[in-house]
Structure 1
C-alpha cells in the first residue's frame, strides 16, 4: 500500500519542459562522468530529439543505425544486433551516472527496456518519514484509540466442496500438461541452431553498492554470443517450464569491493552437470568507464568457453 501511495504521488509530478530536457541533454553530452562512446552520444541525442518532436514511432533500430551508427541502407537489424547491444550499454551507463556523479541532478533521461523512445522526469524526492498511530498519539496529534467494533467473519465454504474442486483441477492439469509440454519442446527444438547455452544472471555479493556491474557483464556476454549462428543463446524464460533444455549452462558471480571486482565463471553440461571450464579473476576498477571493464571481462569469458562450444558443434 505504501508503494502504491508513493507511486501515485510521483505520477502527479509535472513533466519537464522541452527546454529543460534539451539543457540537461547538453550537460550530459559534455560530461565526462557519463562514460559512453561518441556514437552513443549521437544515439542519445537522436532519440531525445525525436521523442521531443513527437516522432517516437519512428525510433526504430533501422533509423537509429543509419543516423547514429553510420550504417548504410542495406542494414538489417535481424542479422546485425548493434543497436540492441549499444542501447543496453547506454541504459547501463545512464543508470550508473545517476547513481554516482549525477545523483544530485534535478531531472532524469531514461530509455525504458523494450523501446528506444526516451522518457523524461524530475528526480524523485526522498519520501517523508512516516509515523504510526501510537507515535502520533504520544505527541498529542491523535485522540485516544476508539474501541474496536466486532467484525463478523464470513461463513467458510464446506470442506468437501473445496476438496472436490481441487481434485477436478488436478485431473485436468494431469491431462493437459503433457500435451502442452510435448508441443512446446518440439517447437523449441526446431528453432535451435547448433549447441544451445543458457547464460544465468551473474550473482553479486549481499550489500554490493555496484551490483549493476554483474548485470552488465551478463548483458555483454549475451551480446557477444548472440551474433554467432553456431550457438543458440537462451534466456531464463525459455527454461522456466522445462520446455527447452540447453546443452550448456554458464553461471558466475561478480562482486565489487572497494576499487576491485572479483569475478568467477563456470561452464557445465546440462545433461550430466559435468563442469567443462572454470575461470576466476580479479580486476581493478579504474576511472568512470565501467562499461569498458564489463566488456573486457565478458570478452575473456566468451573466448574461454568458445572451444567447448565449438567442440560440441
Structure 2
C-alpha cells in the first residue's frame, strides 16, 4: 500500500544545455532521496517521517533549490522556506525567510511538534531552530557556483544586458515529497530557496499551508513547485483536496485541473500528489520536472524531462 513521490522542482535545466555530469548528479540525488524515504516506509514507518527523510536528502544535495544549493535573493543572500504537514490530524509546521538553518524541513517539523505556531519566520525561525538544537550553518554553506551564476544572470537581466531569456531553472525551483504509509496515513513536505533575485523578505507558497503544501488523510497529500505567488492566490494544494473531497474528482483530474489553472495564469508549474488509495500524480507544464517515485512493490523510478520517466531499480 505504501508509496512515495518526490520532486526537485519544475524548473529543470533545458535538455540541450544539461551536461552529462549534471544529468547524472540530479538523477543520483533523486534516487538517494527516494531511498531515504523508502527506508522509513519499507519498514512500516510513518508517512510523516518518510517525507521528512526524503526532503532532508534533497536539501543536502546541490542540484536542487533547497538547503545546500538554494538560490540567492536580490541582496545576494539566502532566505529559506519549508513546511511539513501530517495528514492524520492536519497538524502542520513551517518556517519562512530562515537564514542559518541547515535543514529547514527539520525546523518546520519542530514548529509543528514543539510550538503552538504553524509558521515562524525570519530571525524568529533561526532563533527557534537554535533553541531546538538543530544544526545551524553560515550563509556560505548554501551557496554553490551554479547559483552564483544564476544570480549574476538575473542581475544582468535587471540591467537590460541579457542576450537570451533566463530559463526556468535559472529562476526558481523547489523540492518536496508526498507519501502514503501502510496504515493509510498521508503526509507532505516542501522546501525551497525561493526564486533567484527575489525581493528580500519575500515568501512563496512552500511554507503556506494549502498553497504549496497540504495533506489530509483519506483525501490527498500535495507538494507544489513554481512561481509561489500564483499558487498562493489559487490555494493550489488545498484546491486539489477540495476537488477530490467535494466534487468527487479522481486524483489525475484534480491535479491536471490545478496545472491548467496555473498555465492560464502564465506560470511554469508542477506538483506531486498521492491519494488515499495510493494513486500518484506528477503533472507539470514545463520542459521537465525533477521527479521520482517508489511504488508499493518497491519499484523506484526517476525522470527529469517529459519523456524520460522510467523505472531504474527495485528496492526492498
More helix by share: 1
More strand by share: 2
TM-score, shorter chain, exceeding 0.5: no
TM-score, normalised with respect to structure 1: 0.27
